A and B are shown apart, each in its own frame.
Chain A
Amino acid sequence: MSLAERGGDSSCRPPRTRMRPLLVSQALIRSFSSSARHHFQNRVAEKQKLFQESNDIPVHLKGGTTDQLLYRLTMALTLGGTVYSLYCLGWASFPHKK
């Protein structure tokens, strides 16, 4: 399959079929401008390439190793917290001497 069909090339056209999702926004490419004064450059095309790579990685992990880290931290906090909340429930269910 060509790079253009996959939408990895920033100059490709959207597929003619109405049913196909738009892989690259043409208007976005046209609005490209770099402004040295604001130190911002349009890097959306690079991101589009990264996130459209055919590697079967789900979107919440597709950005790289930071994604893995954040995911593991979030899961650890929620699962650990859930266990802790059950412990608290157990503790609160019984009287304690003041």
Chain B
Amino acid sequence: MNHQTHAFHMVNPSPWPLTGALSALLITSGLTMWFHFNSMTLMLLGLLACIMTMYQWWRDIVREGTYQGHHTPTVQKGLRYGMVLFIISEVFFFAGFFWAFYHSSLAPTPELGGYWPPAGINPLNPTEVPLLNTAILLASGVSITWAHHSLMEGHRKHVIQSLLTTIILGIYFTLLQASEYFEAPFTISDGIYGSTFFVATGFHGLHVIIGSTFLTVCLIRQLLFHFTSKHHFGFEAAAWYWHFVDVVWLFLYVSIYWWGS
């Protein structure tokens, strides 16, 4: 058996970067086939391949860390850097949509009536469901912190309860937001208001779904005894991501729902 004389992780050759890249090709070319030629086959093929790639790639990381012991403190530091940098890139992603919103809303054009919200738009009441959604996400921030402390203190049952609470709150948010989308008196094609509203809140909603999925994976891993009180970076990464999602919502609420009404 080979022994390494360094603390880093030299991964086994893996097919997932290739299948991931090819699935991205299939999704993008599939979008073209869908938009222009009304055919969904290529896109669905791409989405399926993408999901399978993600499942197997992350499954392999769990194997490498939890089962093979490759995640030394040095390796974990690298993983932390990686997650932080990824979240920073997501911040920039949302910054673009906030830029677009403020660009259009701070100087409304004559075509909009010269004011914001534009003529003909009835914005959603920020003190109704949007405020409830704010409370839900803030509460989920509390429950995930409870989960983390329980994990560090070794209270298995509390981790499961608080993590489950967080996930349920995330699902509740998603359902409420879906209902708001359905009931809203304006659509994405209602000028720049509709575009900025639905693109910004829509991408946020997608990130809530991604975050909820990440948390669910953590719940499963907790049930399977993967986490220890000292080593649970997967959970921490999910918690960081969840707090990021919460903060983005706060900006959305204040900017688009509240100031923008």
Contacts from A to B (Cβ < 8 Å): 1, 6-7, 18-25, 27-28, 31-33, 35, 38, 40, 42-44, 47-48, 50-52, 54, 58-60, 62-63, 70-71, 73-75, 77-82, 84-85, 88-89, 92
Contacts and interface: CB of A to CB of B under 8 A. Distances in A.
Contacts of A89: 29
Bin the interface of chain B by size: 35 or more
B52 A73 contact: yes
A40 B49 CA distance: 31
Interface stretch (B163-171, B224-232, B234-242): B224-232
Contact of B7 (A21, A47, A73, A82): A21
A64 B228 CA distance: 26
B65 to A, nearest CB: 10
A31 B33 contact: no
> Most chain-B CB neighbours within 10 Å: which of A60, A63, A82?
A60
B56 A44 contact: no
A82 B26 CA distance: 7
A77 B41 CA distance: 12
A45 to B, nearest CB: 10
Interface of B: 1, 3-7, 9, 11-16, 18-19, 22-23, 25-26, 29-30, 32-33, 36-37, 39, 41-42, 45-46, 48-49, 52-53, 56, 60, 63-64, 66-70, 72, 154, 156, 223-226, 228-231
Contact of B4 (A19, A27, A62): A19
Contact of A85 (B19, B42, B52, B231): B42
Nearest to B20: A78
B56 A70 contact: yes
A27 to B, nearest CB: 4
B174 to A, nearest CB: 27
B15 A44 contact: no
Nearest to A38: B223
Contacts of A33: 156
A34 to B, nearest CB: 10
B15 A71 contact: yes
